[in-house]
Structure 1
Amino acid sequence: MRRFFDRFKYNGLFVKMFIVMVVSIASVAVITTWTTINTSERVFLETFSITNSKVVEQIKSNMDAYNYAIVIASNNVLQSGSIRGFLTEGDGNSLSQMRAYYNMSQQIKRIHSGLDAYDVSIIVNGVNGRSFATDRTIWPISDKALRSHPITDRTLSEPRKLHYLYDDANVSGNPDVAPTIVASKALLDRTTGKVYGSMYFPIREQEFKRFYESFTSLGNDVAVMSGTGMILSSNRSEWIGQPSEQLLNYAKEIEKKGLPYMDAEMMDKSHVILSTYLQSLDLYVVNVIDKEAAIGQLTDTDAIVLTVMIIVAAALIIVFLISRRLTKSLTRLVKQISTISKYEFDHEVTVGGSYETRQLAQAFNSMLAELQVYVRELLETQKGQRNAELEALQQQINPHFLYNTLASVKFMVQQGSKEKAAETINALISLLQNAIGNVSATITLSQELINLKNYVFINHVRYGERIKMNYFVSPDCMGYHVPKLIIQPFIENAFFHGFNQKSEGNIYFMASKDGDSLVCEVADNGDGFDMGGVDGLPLPQTSRRQLFAGIGVKNVHDRIKLLYGEQYGVTIASEPGEGTRVKIRLPLIKG
């Protein structure tokens, strides 16, 4: 992965040029393809809409012919005296009833002959309870059910109108009734204006579908819809018998505005809607065209995209080769410059390639000669400055600490505690010996532990033993080396800032190995503080009056990072009232 990023870095100019060309070529290809496909789709849809308008007109013509045949048949039924007599006269002798039935049936058969082109039945139902049907299998409904059927109610509510209504098992409650379209009209006496019955012309939806079925295809659907929005017939079986207010609104808008077609969203798809209104039938013939399906039959989008991709790929290969050739010498120079700045600072770059590249290489070599001298001097200066700063910090033994310690020794001598005074002097001498010395020297953890104990001993002499000190050091860590005075500043902070509110407590020093690291911890159960400081080391500023040396907590953290790297250093955690825990992570260093 690193090698990949290095190659990307060295070939930055080439990559940027190539990306610009890729984006440009791809953008042109996408825009051209999109424009071509959309133009083709628009032209196709306009042509398809014109063609389908003629198809809709043909469907309308077929249905008008059927309606005309129904109108002729209904008028013949109304004009037939034998039919009116059969449906209105009361019960007589059997002979007269048979004669009336025979005359009526013959009359209806003659009328039905005008409907032979269609698989349709004629049913008449009179107010006297008599009825007759040419074919009960088309619409298998009983006379009793027919009298209370919603179709009959609708027919009698508008007796002068020819109705086209829908019936199926759900509407009639009869499981034997298949989807059926029923033309119905009341039998009205023209002289008296009284209704003496009703007539029905049922046709199965499957038969009715033949008027338009040959004009449908995938994505090109037809629906015959009543004026109330009920879909009476469709090549889409799931639409039949379902109300569609949305489709009705589209059909009405097309009719009202005289639109040739309309773009609409239906069922989460884009459609083209064509519609014509059959006023004599009070029906809408609606042609619903699925754009995606219709266009998919015309254009092979996948093939177009594949062709464009092949052309783009070929263009990109040519651009790649040309761009690579133009930038190769410059890339080689950049790689040499990057390598020299990291690993071979005293080497010059090779002069070669195009004129521009040669001029850059010569200018870089001239600059490099001067830069080498400057960098060498700067590194030496920084190294000396860093050592001087650390040495100065280690030499900053606070005179107040010495004065107060010696004053305590004087007081112990005056009190006759000569042994304790001598022990205090020895502890101070040991501290001074370790504090003053080689800045880069390290000491073992065992020696640092002795220094800590000496420092704690002096503090106990000066301030008493209200704060206890506890040591928990793993024996296998004693031989590892640590920088001088690396732990003492945290013990000092705990002594002088950890117990301002609490009168007594404990400080714990712990050391153990953690993988490849030496982890030293200084913890106390003192006051604690709110973590909100700077650089993740929010300890209080230490009073100069109390310090043993001028090395602060921030200095310790920076010193560790400077010596050993970013993965080492100091982390602090504290809670008000709970105490503070300082973790110092160092590398494992043997003497």
Structure 2
Amino acid sequence: MKRTWMRFSQQTLFGKIFIVMVVSTITVALVTSLIMVQVAQNLFMNTFSITNSKVITQIKNSFEDFNYGIVTVSNEVAQSFTVKTFLTEGDQDSLTNAQSVYRMTEQMKHIQSSLDLKEVAVAVLGINGRSYFNNRAYWTGTTEELRDSVLYEETIQHPEKLSYRYFRGSEETDGQPLIIASKALRTPSTKEIYGVLFMMIREPDFRQFYANFTSAGNDVVILDQKGQIVSSNLEDRIGERSEELLRSAAAIEERGLAYTTVNSRGVNDIVLADNLPTYDFYIVNLIDKKMALAKLFPVKQIVVTGAAIVAASLLILFIIIRQVTRSLRLLVRQMSSVTKRNFHNYITIGGSYETKELGAAFNYMLDELNDYISQLVKTQKEQRNAELAALQRQINPHFLYNTLASVNILVQRGNKEKATETIHALISLLQNTISNVSETITVEEELVNLKHYVFINQVRYGTGIQVDFFIAPDCMKAKLPKLILQPFVENAFFHGFKDRNTGYIYVMISREDHALLCEVIDNGDGMDLEPGSNKLPNSRNKRQMFNGIGVRNVHERILLLYGENYGVSIESKPGEGTRIRLRIPWEVQDETLSG
């Protein structure tokens, strides 16, 4: 969670707004959809329960019509003198018995012919041991097996009641489950039982009363008071006991509920129920909630449509937010360029009121910053130039004294030409030294100064240290700050050859891309440098023989004039000499090409 929040906090303003809008839109869409689905489900359930309640009423009417036929047959059998005689008279001769059976058969045919009960088999058992079956295919067992059954016993115990009971398929029923209606036959005056009437219907035939009202996910279950399923279009559940369905049916009846839900065998079902008091059964209508709602709410279509709407909304939001924040993003992008030292990247003021105010404030800040930087750079340059000018004007008295002493010796020796040449070299060198420090000269002019300086030193100390100049022809007109190479030559003269009096110094100038490369190389003593370092000698620790401008002064001067891409670097090893490289921008006739 913390990592997610950190990632969110690092997003741009546009990203944060868009993420918030995406999350908000999806959340609102989901919540709204869930509420609408819930409302629609409740409306659907109420409407569906009303519709299916009417269906249950139609099924109930079909059962009542069937029960009416059963009751009619039961009453006619109970009122028939022929039936009573057949079930109560004793055993007689064969002819009389045959006549009695014939009359019984004809009477039962007459009773059944008045009603459409073709799927119902009738069996009558008398206390005299006689019995009548109109269709032995329904009961293939013996009469005694029927007389000894629980059905017979329960009917005798409740003689006043027409009872419906479920009889599981067995050998006696040829494997077919039956719903059997039974009624005790009694004498009206004495209430004495003289027989029992059984009317049997096979479960598949019983199922036809409601089969037309079932479909996939819409099932009907006929349940007795013990929770046993006596009939259903779900054939695998016939004969099963279901306490859940019994409780649901009882709750609907007792509380007057329109419907309830139950999880039956892993399926979430909607339960509608009604009581069949004449049968002592419950009609239970099971509707697969998932399947029913799937028909009402095609999930795939809803998801695709919802996703399309959300995507369209997000696209519109993206365009609007991007347009609204465009001016702010441009402002941020332009402001970020300040970190790259681009202090002249002024912002075009536009967009919203807030952006305009920020842009104006930013431009004002750049104005103030540029003024401050310009003033600071100007002050630093003036200060540095003043320092360099002061140093240049502080000609080392020892240099002048030794040079003039050397001239005096030359005059005394009669070498007037060399003395004159030395004086001219000193005059030229002093003229360039006391001139404007910010003035630049050509390489050709700088070479004249260097040669004068070398000539004076060789007059004073001899020609043991040779100085050679290697200048590329195209560099002669290139410009560089005045007296910028003199400190390096001086450093080589007086600090590079302490252990010996002979050697050479090379001054090499060439062009490298868009820069002027000046090198001063000697084969003197060399020195130790830290690995990977080009640390420059500290001019404050080593006395300059000509003036106060040392090697480090030159490096700082170049950085001040041209920036960090230019400057002085040094390579040196003890016993191998020293190489000093000076790099400045290429400039010829006021045209600057910097790399």
TM-score by length of 2: 0.55
2:110 equivalent to 1:110:
yes
C-alpha change, 1:120 and 1:364, in structure 2 (3 Å) is farther
Q: Distance in 2 between matches of 1:366 and 1:290?
A: 76
Q: Distance in 2 between matches of 1:369 and 1:125?
A: 123
Deviation at 1:365, TM superposition (A): 5.3
Paired residue for 1:293, among 291, 300, 322? 291
Amino acid at match of 1:27: T
Deviation at 1:339, TM superposition (A): 7.9
Deviation at 1:120, TM superposition (A): 0.7
Q: How many residues align?
A: 365
Q: Distance in 2 between matches of 1:103 and 1:161?
A: 27
C-alpha change, 1:7 and 1:28, in structure 2 (3 Å) is closer
Amino acid at match of 2:198: Y
C-alpha change, 1:232 and 1:353, in structure 2 (3 Å) is farther
Aligned to 1:281: 279
Amino acid at match of 1:44: F
Deviation at 1:107, TM superposition (A): 1.0
Q: Distance in 2 between matches of 1:30 and 1:287?
A: 33
Deviation at 1:225, TM superposition (A): 1.7
2:262 equivalent to 1:265:
yes
Amino acid at match of 2:263: M
Deviation at 1:139, TM superposition (A): 4.0
C-alpha change, 1:353 and 1:319, in structure 2 (3 Å) is farther
Q: Is the 8 A contact 1:333 1:349 kept in 2?
A: no
Give SS of 2:121's match.
coil
Structure number with greater CO (CA < 8 Å, separation at least 6) is 1
TM-score by length of 1: 0.55
RMSD: 3.4
Amino acid at match of 2:130: R
Aligned to 1:224: 222
Note the alpha carbon deviations across 1:258-283, whole angstroms, 9 max, x for none.
33x12223325554433222222222
Q: Distance in 2 between matches of 1:234 and 1:240?
A: 6
2:301 equivalent to 1:303:
yes
Aligned to 2:473: none
Amino acid at match of 1:312: V
Map 1:473-484 → 2, pairs under 5 A: none
Q: Is the 8 A contact 2:83 2:104 kept in 1?
A: yes
Q: Distance in 2 between matches of 1:258 and 1:300?
A: 32
Q: Distance in 1 between matches of 2:8 and 2:205?
A: 72
Aligned to 2:186: 188
Aligned to 1:412: none
Q: Distance in 2 between matches of 1:322 and 1:288?
A: 51
Note the alpha carbon deviations across 1:424-465, whole angstroms, 9 max, x for none.
xxxxxxxxxxxxxxxxxxxxxxxxxxxxxxxxxxxxxxxxxx
Deviation at 1:168, TM superposition (A): 2.2
Q: Distance in 2 between matches of 1:78 and 1:89?
A: 16
C-alpha change, 1:179 and 1:357, in structure 2 (3 Å) is farther
Amino acid at match of 2:16: K
Note the alpha carbon deviations across 1:216-261, whole angstroms, 9 max, x for none.
22332222222222221122223321222222222223222333x1
Q: Distance in 2 between matches of 1:61 and 1:211?
A: 9
Note the alpha carbon deviations across 1:194-222, whole angstroms, 9 max, x for none.
33332211111111112112122233222
C-alpha change, 1:7 and 1:266, in structure 2 (3 Å) is closer
Q: Is the 8 A contact 2:167 2:179 kept in 1?
A: yes
Deviation at 1:364, TM superposition (A): 7.2
Map 1:233-382 → 2, pairs under 5 A: 233-259=231-257, 261-267=258-264, 268-331=266-329, 334=332, 344=340, 351-352=347-348, 354=350, 355-356=356-357, 358-359=359-360, 361-362=362-363
Amino acid at match of 1:358: G
Note the alpha carbon deviations across 1:341-377, whole angstroms, 9 max, x for none.
6xx46877663464255346547758988999xxxxx
Aligned to 1:22: 22
Task: Structure 2 unaligned segments of length 5 or more: list them.
Answer: 351-355, 374-530, 532-595
Q: Distance in 1 between matches of 2:144 and 2:75?
A: 25
Amino acid at match of 2:260: D
Q: Is the 8 A contact 1:59 1:211 kept in 2?
A: yes
Q: Is the 8 A contact 2:55 2:213 kept in 1?
A: yes
Q: Is the 8 A contact 1:348 1:368 kept in 2?
A: no
Deviation at 1:14, TM superposition (A): 0.9
Aligned to 2:393: none
Amino acid at match of 1:158: H
Deviation at 1:105, TM superposition (A): 0.9
Q: Distance in 2 between matches of 1:269 and 1:357?
A: 64
Amino acid at match of 2:293: I
Task: Structure 1 unaligned segments of length 5 or more: list them.
Answer: 373-480, 482-591
Note the alpha carbon deviations across 1:99-138, whole angstroms, 9 max, x for none.
1111111111112223434411101122333322111223
Give SS of 2:284's match.
strand
Q: Distance in 1 between matches of 2:281 and 2:220?
A: 13
Map 1:376-391 → 2, pairs under 5 A: none
Map 1:128-143 → 2, pairs under 5 A: 128-143=128-143
Q: Distance in 2 between matches of 1:365 and 1:174?
A: 108
Q: Distance in 2 between matches of 1:201 and 1:240?
A: 20
Q: Distance in 2 between matches of 1:138 and 1:98?
A: 24
Aligned to 2:163: 163
Amino acid at match of 1:351: I
Deviation at 1:312, TM superposition (A): 1.4
Give SS of 1:211's match.
coil
Q: Is the 8 A contact 1:140 1:177 kept in 2?
A: no
C-alpha change, 1:109 and 1:283, in structure 2 (3 Å) is same
C-alpha change, 1:347 and 1:145, in structure 2 (3 Å) is farther
Q: Is the 8 A contact 1:231 1:242 kept in 2?
A: yes
Q: Is the 8 A contact 1:125 1:198 kept in 2?
A: yes
Aligned to 2:37: 37
Q: Distance in 1 between matches of 2:125 and 2:92?
A: 18
Q: Is the 8 A contact 1:219 1:293 kept in 2?
A: yes
Instruction: Report which of the two structures shows the higher radius of gyration computed on alpha carbons.
Output: 2
Aligned to 1:89: 89
Q: Is the 8 A contact 1:226 1:232 kept in 2?
A: yes
Q: Distance in 1 between matches of 2:141 and 2:296?
A: 47
